[in-house]
Structure 1
Amino acid sequence: MTLSLQQYISAFAQSKHLSSLSQLGRGIEREALRVLPQGRLSERPHSARLGAALTHPNITTDYSETLLEFITPVSFKPETAIAQLEDVQKFTLSQLDGELLWPMSMPCFVEDDDKIPLAQFGQSNIGRMKTVYRQGLKNRYGSMMQVISGIHFNFSFPKSFFQSLQSIEENSAPLEQYIADKYFALLRNYKRYCWLIPYLYGSSPAVCGSFLKHKPTKLPFKKTDKGYMYLEYATSLRMSDLGYTNSEQSSLKICYNDLAGYLDGVKNAINLPSAKFEKIGVKVNGQYQQLNSNVLQIENELYAPVRPKCVAKAGEKPSQALKNRGVEYIEVRALDVNPFSATGISVEQIRFLDIFLTFCMLQPSPKGTYQEQAITEENMNAVVVRGRDPKLLLQDNDQQKSVVQWGGEIFAQMTAVADLLDQANDSHLYRDALAVEAAKISDPSLTPSAKILAAVVNNNESLTKTALQRAADYRQQLLANDYQEFDEAYFKRSVADSMAQQLEIEQADTQSFDEFLQDYFQD
């Protein structure tokens, strides 16, 4: 039985169901380049004082040795997630000898992208596999695309929420299957409405000229007096063809109607050969150039604005975890780093995402076709390059709508969701957060992308100088903070433990690397 949004909200307003909405789970993954105070990439390796990137629970690297990734554990209050992230960054900055964390998604000046070092994870087979995977990314897409930073927001509802939802719907399916079905309903709605995310939070409308040096593009870039390239109405160049996209993946058919269909689509994608990538070779002159020549080397290479996730056990692939234990949470991947926040994401953003994702869960979500999915992708692509263009029209089913019209309709529906979350948390903070974002729909000048362009284009400010000043201010601010959720002793222990765990993994290896890869890719 499917109810209307208002019927779900009325049901959850009952005290026996309401408390489940005060236990939303949140985790954050924030990427940040290490840069020198002069504005260039650091050339230092990942510091041993931060522990082993392979095994540290909170501090690792992404594509490059210079691209840090901070990970918070699951917490159940927005303030806790931010406090954890502040603590992780405070400790990191205390170990970096004056290096700064670049506070934007698009990279700083990079003179030679061949000098961007691949992340190293030690001599174990799994560590070597991680580095070879990154070598493949470099050969396929170039290093520059891989030093773009983002925020991944991991979100889950408690088991009690699904039990309430199942009783409201009078549904008798096995709970694990029911939870997976409801998360996929959320994913479909997220894809329908996710153009809102880059519109509201896109913070990369301009790039350093060095980023486009060897990257052909048909986008109509303009140039500031100081040499920055920008699009007049862009919101998130990170999410455009310049950033996290892969033309080889455009033909993939990944279905979001249910878990089984999704897993089949991912499996097919991983096994789909690519003539383009075959030309690179796999093992050339004894050196691995990529893990394989398929469209996807591994599942992580699937670029998507959202993913269903389940915590994987040692040696388990993400799809195996999903198949074995169902969906545990979703990973929102469409967020630029917020340059106006020391942590790259604000507590108000988290509250809005709580509202938006709860709306996506409770809003009716019919199963879709590949054609309908393609329309949602076209909407997204349009918003990232011209989201503030007053002439832009988006496709909502069989209607064309402006950002103001469609955004206004969605926000009107989300008002009741914000009120419900305020009721569950005994606050007014959700309604306040929604009001701030709603104002951006009617006034695009309030968006972060517009603010950045106003400074860079209208005021002829240096994007680099402004970013470095923010980075220096954030460093000082975070170092001055007291630890809140962790303490220095915890981080020191984690450093030592991660080093010991990496050594243990290396000593436990009994296979050659070739044998390890052969076993890994056997299905």
Structure 2
Amino acid sequence: MAESRHSVFRQFAASDWDGFLKGVEKEGLRVDRNGFIAQTPHPEALGSALTHPRITTDYSEALLELITPVFNSTGGMLKSLRDIHTYVQQNLGDEVFWAASMPCELDGDPSIPIAEYGSSNIGQLKHVYRQGLAVRYGRMMQSIAGAHYNLSLPDSFWQKWQELLGNEQSLKDFKSDQYFWLIRNFRRRSWLLMLLFGASPALDASFVAGVSHDLNQFDERTWYGEHATSLRMGDLGYHNNAQASLNICFNELSTYTQTLDRAIHTTWPAYEEIGTRRGDQFIQINTSVLQIENEYYSAVRPKRTTQREEKPIQALEARGVEYIEVRCLDLDPFSPVGVNEAQIDFLDLFLLDCLLSDSPRIGDEECERLDDNYKDVVSNGRYRELKLCRAGERTPVSEAATDILAQLEPLAELLDSWQGDDTYRRALAAQRETLSGEWTVPSARVLDAMRSSGMGHREWGMEMAQQHQQTLRQEGLDASVRQAFDAMTADSLAEQAQMERADTLPFSEFLEQYLRS
């Protein structure tokens, strides 16, 4: 019998282990003092959303996205994320930064302004892509916020790991294969993250105005799922029928890029009917199932940093997988920065175990079962009698979760022994604690907090946002940190202006060249 990968990993010495590389992209809506989505432009004090390295926007002009650099420690990453949040909070004026994944009060599509990035061709491309999302799916879905966790392992790890496995591929191909090994197991277990970290069991009534749903009424302005963990990741959130037909294959890099590329070059009748222009205005990049790769909604993505005007598929094919992006995380509304330390350390442990556990290719039948498990936990995960399909049997969700946490314990002990602390055992214990007794998972805590406060989603979300704003504004920033952010703001505005001056090609010709590439 072949030696298990966990056993091979134990042949590392403490001196061989350099830890994880990590970063976060955290979204959140700007909201006015009445709890309504902000109608104001991106604050100039926050720089250019096109070129600022730390502060940008996602779909909407009101949907901020804060991006940390890459760190080798959870503490360093969270300190950076807190600094970015603090700078933002100091420059929001009378607005607040919404704390929850499901949005504040909305008034239909017209109330959700699409992000603007200036007149450069790249800026216009980003705007037209978002216009395309609007005409394809409507704007409501795009007002939802989440946190994306990016994780990689340093080349020193991969070189040692490749040596121990006796692998003779190029390092680029070996790393890509190993990241897809991790992704396959992530897909098998991602339901656990929705149970442990799903934090959007309720939503504002304005989000579902005129929409058929099966939610329960919390109060006159709030609906909730009785056992839901994450409405954000359910049918009311990131979901659409065109993408359901894609069958993107996560078994290896070549099948992943091929199936994505096919989606970008396969027209969809409904989008053809819309067309790419209204008069002289571009309203979508193309009429394919996907305009670009980023339109594909998935819980995890293999990623490679792109160069300017380079497409994600091109970057992956040229240089291989660089890191993994976990995209299914709801914002932690109890945290001023939307994520917390125990959560990040647990994710590191969880993802490393995905790499070290057996990971056969996923066939069509297993793929459907995995999707069903994920959907069931998203919509009904706090129902104790819920059963998941595991190894051909129906297993209670509590038992399946407990089994995975138990499986992680030896790995947590090994990593802690190398580091000389109890980081991973504490992170694991924190998750065990949430599944003990009455199940204090975040989705349950949110509903309990709303009930105890006597507030619905809108009022409670506003109260949390104001508390976090007060906390961070009182903490403030060191003068040197603030000066560094001020410099980034000024530099980003100057860079956008220079890009706009440098462009000479009409946007229609630029777009044609972009599509040909």
TM-score w.r.t. the length of structure 2 is 0.97
Amino acid of the structure 2 residue aligned with 1:167: E
Alignment of 1:401-420 (within 5 A): 401-420=395-414
2:450 is aligned, of 453, 456, 463, to 456
Give the Å deviation of 1:174.
1.3
Give the conservation status (yes or no) of the 8 Å contact 1:388–1:444. no
2:389 match: secondary structure: strand
Distance 1:374 1:507 in 2: 50
1:364-408 alpha-carbon deviations (Å, 9 max, x no partner)? 111111322222111111110000112211111312111111111
Length, aligned pairs only: 517
Amino acid of the structure 2 residue aligned with 1:338: D
Give the Å deviation of 1:9.
4.1
1:373 match: 367
Mark the runs of 5 or more structure 2 residues left unpaired by the alignment: none
2:300 match: 306
Give the Å deviation of 1:244.
1.1
Distance 1:458 1:469 in 2: 13
2:67 is aligned, of 68, 71, 74, to 71
Give the Å deviation of 1:16.
4.6
Distance 2:500 2:490 in 1: 16
1:11 match: secondary structure: coil
Give the Å deviation of 1:5.
4.8
Give the conservation status (yes or no) of the 8 Å contact 1:224–1:460. no
> Do residues 15 (structure 1) and 14 (structure 2) align?
yes
Give the conservation status (yes or no) of the 8 Å contact 1:80–1:485. no
1:329 match: 323
Amino acid of the structure 2 residue aligned with 1:483: L
2:11 match: secondary structure: helix
Query: 1:179 and 1:484, CA in 2 relative to 1: closer, same or farther beyond 3 A?
Result: farther
> Do residues 205 (structure 1) and 201 (structure 2) align?
yes
1:103 match: 99
> Do residues 393 (structure 1) and 387 (structure 2) align?
yes
Alignment of 1:490-501 (within 5 A): 490-501=484-495
Give the Å deviation of 1:440.
2.7
1:362 is aligned, of 349, 356, 364, to 356
Amino acid of the structure 2 residue aligned with 1:4: S
1:310-364 alpha-carbon deviations (Å, 9 max, x no partner)? 0001110011111111111010000000001000001111101011011111111
Moved more, 435-444 or 494-503: 435-444
1:19-68 alpha-carbon deviations (Å, 9 max, x no partner)? 23x2x111110001001222111111001111110000000011111110
Q: RMSD of the TM alignment (CA)?
A: 1.7
Mark the runs of 5 or more structure 1 residues left unpaired by the alignment: none
1:87-141 alpha-carbon deviations (Å, 9 max, x no partner)? 1111111111121100000001112331211100000111011111111111111
Give the conservation status (yes or no) of the 8 Å contact 1:59–1:69. yes
Alignment of 1:238-317 (within 5 A): 238-317=232-311
2:210 match: 214
1:446 match: secondary structure: coil
> Do residues 53 (structure 1) and 40 (structure 2) align?
no
1:232 match: secondary structure: coil
Query: 1:8 and 1:411, CA in 2 relative to 1: closer, same or farther beyond 3 A?
Result: farther
TM-score w.r.t. the length of structure 1 is 0.96
Distance 1:505 1:401 in 2: 56
Distance 2:352 2:80 in 1: 23
> Do residues 170 (structure 1) and 170 (structure 2) align?
no
1:400-425 alpha-carbon deviations (Å, 9 max, x no partner)? 11111111111111111211221232
2:516 match: secondary structure: coil
Query: 1:441 and 1:119, CA in 2 relative to 1: closer, same or farther beyond 3 A?
Result: same
2:28 is aligned, of 32, 43, 46, to 32
Distance 1:514 1:113 in 2: 27
Distance 2:51 2:151 in 1: 23
2:175 match: 179
Give the conservation status (yes or no) of the 8 Å contact 1:87–1:486. no
Query: 1:254 and 1:486, CA in 2 relative to 1: closer, same or farther beyond 3 A?
Result: farther
Identity %: 41
2:463 is aligned, of 455, 460, 469, to 469
1:349 is aligned, of 321, 343, 346, to 343
